[in-house]
Amino acid sequence: MKNNGSNKNTFLLLAIVSTIITMGLHIYLSQHYYGVKFGLAEAGSVCNINQKFNCDAVTASRFSDFLGVPVALWGLATNSVLLFFLFVTRQNLTQDRAKTSRYAFLLSLVVLLASVVMGTISLTAMSNLCIFCITAYVFSIITFACTLTGAENLSVQNLIEDIKDIFTSDRWVLGFLAAIPVISFGANLMYLESHGLGDVEKVANEKVSYWLSAPTVTLDPTAGLQMQAGTQTPIMNIVEFADFRCPHCKHAAPSIHAFVQSHPDVKLTFKPFPLDGTCNDAIQGGGDGISCGLAFAVMCSEQINKTGWKAHDYLFENQMDIIQDQNLDKNLQSLSTVVGIPKDDLKKCVEAPETKALVIKIAKEGADAKIRGTPTVFVNNKVLEGGQLIPVLDAAYKSLRK
């Protein structure tokens, strides 16, 4: 009996460790959700591996939240309660250790079933996968197995009686279960309010109303970097004008890209709009030529070996260094290594008159469309204010799907 109890404690300890790891994953995924959804992220997720394994795209999908609360936050709250049951069981901090161990088992079963549902959705209804999500699902299996082994007097009859007792003699268990939605909704509301996002849905609908009534402008669909996850004719064409030294543009990129990658019928065209008078007549007072040079380099990267997006991402990820260096030649040296183009070849293209003419033409498009700053987003040739935020893009997308 003593050895049996020791073995059960060992498995309960493993379940506790597994649950803590799962909570850590859910904390990261919750923060990632807010970063991507509301344009707070400075770069893509560390678990973005390729187009298939892309956590940003999963976060931008309609399956990333439930009742307006991130699925990861639901997971965090549920695993927090599970951790409590596991801890008090192993430490004998309950009057009926066996029954509490079975409550932990039941809750671990709920977590496992939720993981199975989300995993099935990922494999059948989504074109992208999230490595961290999959890892959380795996640990939910480990937690369940350890909790199953660590449970005492486990039988169908005992479980039925335990469930009945939740509503009678063990209402404290019901209280902890009720804490899961309270924690989830409360934490979500606190985060949104603290970041001034409490009315985001209302604001998104207002932005879409303005967008629907906005005048149509003429934009060249072939000039700029192109991105689409699918091959069908897009119902939503997003055009983004941005400057590579603009901090707001850096924050906008992960959200817009995640939205596009999670919707195969959406196409993105990125158009450089340097806030630099040396290649943009809309900017008064001249400029240092660096923003223009960066735009030239990205267009050249795409023209030479189709690495325009790679150059785009590199420049935004290293924006602070670029701003501090104020040295275009140094920027071209590092960029040439990243995109795999000899520096001399890249520099020759950057200095070519036709490259400058292309960026001037694109910048004039933005000026003619009366953009007032960067980033500026157009959807189906109409300006969409706040279009760098996924809730706004999602509201526009839903209006097109009606």
Q: Are residues 149 and 243 in the same domain?
A: no
Q: Are residues 110 and 183 in the same domain?
A: yes
Whether 82 and 108 have beta carbons less than 8 Å apart is answered as yes
Structural domain boundaries, residue 151: 2-194
**Residue 145 to residue 367: CA distance in whole angstroms:** 61
Q: Are residues 147 and 246 in the same domain?
A: no
What are 212-256's pLDDT values in tens digits? 999 999 999 899 999 999 889 999 999 999 999 999 999 999 999
CATH number at residue 372: 3.40.30.10
Tell which residue, 351, 320, 318, has the closest CA to residue 334: 318
Domain end, chosen from 136, 167, 194, is at: 194
Q: Are residues 148 and 222 in the same domain?
A: no
Q: Taking residues 113-137, what's their average pLDDT?
A: 93
The amino acid sitting at 221 is P
Q: Are residues 266 and 339 in the same domain?
A: yes
At residue 47 the predicted structure's pLDDT band, cuts being 50, 70 and 90, is: confident
Which has the minimum average pLDDT: 9-23, 67-81, 272-286?
A: 272-286
**Residue 398 to residue 402: CA distance in whole angstroms:** 6
Residues contacting 394, CB < 8 A, separation 6+: 62, 204, 259
Q: Are residues 152 and 229 in the same domain?
A: no
Total structural domains within the chain: 2
Tell which residue, 243, 257, 102, has the closest CA to residue 165: 102
Domain end, chosen from 194, 222, 248, is at: 194
Q: Are residues 170 and 207 in the same domain?
A: no
Q: Taking residues 172-192, what's their average pLDDT?
A: 96
Whether 159 and 38 have beta carbons less than 8 Å apart is answered as no
Q: Are residues 97 and 184 in the same domain?
A: yes
Q: Are residues 261 and 172 in the same domain?
A: no
For residue 237 the two structure tokens come to: 């064409």
User: In angstroms, what CA-CA distances link 30 with 100, 230, 286?
Assistant: 29, 27, 43
Domain end, chosen from 194, 218, 249, is at: 194
**Residue 117 to residue 114: CA distance in whole angstroms:** 5
What are 282-295's pLDDT values in tens digits? 998 778 999 999 99
Write down the pLDDT at residue 289. Answer: 93
Residue 366 buriedness (CB in 10 A; 0-12 / 13-18 / 19+): buried
pTM: 0.86
Q: Are residues 183 and 299 in the same domain?
A: no
What are 346-399's pLDDT values in tens digits? 999 999 999 999 999 999 999 999 998 999 999 999 999 999 999 999 999 999
Write down the pLDDT at residue 29. Answer: 95
Sheet containing strand 266-272, edge to edge, reads: 225-228, 266-272, 236-242, 376-379, 382-383
CATH number at residue 123: 1.20.1440.130
Mean per-residue pLDDT of the chain: 94
Q: Are residues 204 and 116 in the same domain?
A: no
Q: Are residues 160 and 208 in the same domain?
A: no
Residue with tokens 């992208």: 128
